Amino acid sequence: MAKATIIGTTSWGKTLGWLLSKNGMAVKVWARTDAEAEELNKRRNPNYLAFTSSVSEAAAGASLLIWAVPSESFRQNVMKVKNYLDKSSLLISATKGLELDTGKRMSEILTEEVSPSLQDKVCVLSGPNLSREIAQGLPAFSVVAASRREVAEKVRKLLDLPNFNVLVSTDVIGVELGGALKNIIALGAGMIDGLELGNNAKAAFIALSWAEIISLSVALGAKKSTLWGVAGLGDLIATCSSPLSRNHRVGCNLAKGRSLKEIMASTREVAEGINTTAAAHNLARKMGSKTPIIDFIYRILFESLPPAEAFARIAKLKP
């Protein structure tokens, strides 16, 4: 039986493990501690999904490895695993974010850290993938992207299921940026809902913001068509409209007067849009790109600009 490894016990990581096990793979999930692995093994399901705190046990012999960890710890987790990788392993990032200090995408980090012989095996997985819905067996689509289509096709065959439809792309940059940058808009959409400004205002904000994201993404090397597809617009719609979206919830709470520090302290879940906003803001400055909406979201998060004041000013922007 082929073996797959999930790095990270996030809800998305466990859901991906469940999907792979349904496709007949033996799945090991790497947990942070012995206690966490023991607790998760007590309630594991299905039978092929097992948890371990041993990195060698988790990664050794795996034909497929998926990193489903927060972007802030992504590089650290790659470094812990890279010495155990097989030369034939397929490597997948399922993390939707940018590295805060460098602005790099997760596939760039993987390519930097793993051996040259594995660099063309690096893939990314992204799309409108609310893990709770997928775990309930509801239908979903996702996109796997790699520089070589045949590599992405191999991953597609391992993950594709009747209710989890996997598409293939060679636009790694577009798929990653669509998944990462849409979280900035989800924060703003949540703020609009928290301020009770209505769906007309939210729809206009999403449209104007998405045009800004597309412009920035294309400048960074993405294909515009990818941003209008499942891994771009599709992911945007899900994240801006669903109460399951962490970024939407953070935005809503900010608009209701809670501080970012208080919100982050009250949950173990990571809202990737927070660090992504800072990384995108810095990237745009370096490139000389005009991103007024990203700048306003940045000021709300990190410079204490009141959301109501920010959206009053955003409403006056002319595209």
Q: What DSSP designation does 71 have?
A: G
User: Is residue 177 in some structural domain?
Assistant: no
Integer Rg of the chain from CA: 19
The domain total for the chain is 2
The answer as to whether 176 is a domain residue is no
Strand partners, 145: 124, 169
Which residue among 170, 205, 234 closes a domain? 170
Residues 192 and 55 in one domain: no
The answer to whether residue 121 is catalytic is no
- Residue 177 has a pLDDT of 98
Which residue range forms the structural domain that includes residue 42? 3-170
Nearest-angstrom CA–CA distance, 290 and 134: 37
Q: Are residues 201 and 260 in the same domain?
A: yes
Is 243 among the domain residues? yes
Residues 88 and 211 both lie in one domain: no
Q: Are 216 and 269 spatial neighbours (Cβ–Cβ below 8 Å)?
A: no
Which residue among 138, 170, 202 closes a domain? 170
Residue 319 within a domain: no
pLDDT of residue 87: 87
Cα–Cα dist 214/229, whole Å: 12
CATH number, domain of 55, equals 3.40.50.720
Q: Among residues 96, 104, 121, 182, which one is catalytic?
A: 182
Q: Kindly report the number of other CB atoms within 10 A of residue 204's CB atom.
A: 14
Same domain for 65 and 158: yes
What pLDDT is attached to residue 270?
Answer: 80
Both 43 and 151 in a single domain? Answer: yes
**Same domain as 31, residue 164:** yes
Which pLDDT does position 47 carry in this prediction?
A: 62
> Do residues 137 and 224 share a domain?
no
- pLDDT, residue 44, reads 63
In DSSP notation, 4-35 reads EEEE--SHHHHHHHHHHHHTT-EEEEE-SSHH
pTM here is 0.94
Same domain, 143 and 119: yes
Q: Identify any residues that bridge with 4 across adjacent strands, giving them in sequence order.
A: 27, 64
Report helix, strand or coil for 142: strand
Residue that is last in its domain, among 104, 136, 170? 170
Antiparallel, parallel or unpaired: β 3-7 and 140-146: unpaired
Query: Considering the domain boundaries, does residue 225 fall inside one?
Result: yes
Q: Is 270 part of a structural domain of the chain?
A: yes
| CATH number for the domain harbouring residue 192 | 1.10.1040.10
pLDDT at 101: 93
Q: Are 70 and 45 in contact (CB under 8 A)?
A: no
Q: Distance of alpha carbon 247 from its chain centroid, rounded?
A: 11
DSSP 229: S
- Provide the pairing of β-strand 64-67 with 140-146: unpaired
Q: pLDDT means per 10 residues in the chain (319 residues)?
A: 90 93 92 90 73 92 95 96 91 97 97 94 96 94 97 96 96 98 96 96 96 96 97 96 90 92 84 95 94 96 94 85
74-83: long-range contacts at Cβ-Cβ below 8 A with a sequence spacing of 24 or more?
74/99, 74/106, 74/109, 75/99, 75/109, 75/113, 77/7, 77/8, 78/109, 78/110, 78/113, 78/114, 79/113, 80/55, 81/7, 81/30, 81/55, 82/113, 82/114, 82/115
Domain co-membership, 186 together with 148: no
Q: Look at residue 175 and tell me if it is in a domain.
A: no
> Are 109 and 204 members of one domain?
no
For residue 2, the model assigns a pLDDT of 87
Q: Which tokens is 175 given?
A: 């798929």
Asked if 166 and 191 sit in the same domain, the reply is no
User: Measured between alpha carbons, how far is 140 from 98 in angstroms, rounded to an integer?
Assistant: 24
pLDDT at position 189: 96
Answer yes or no: do 71 and 111 share one domain.
yes
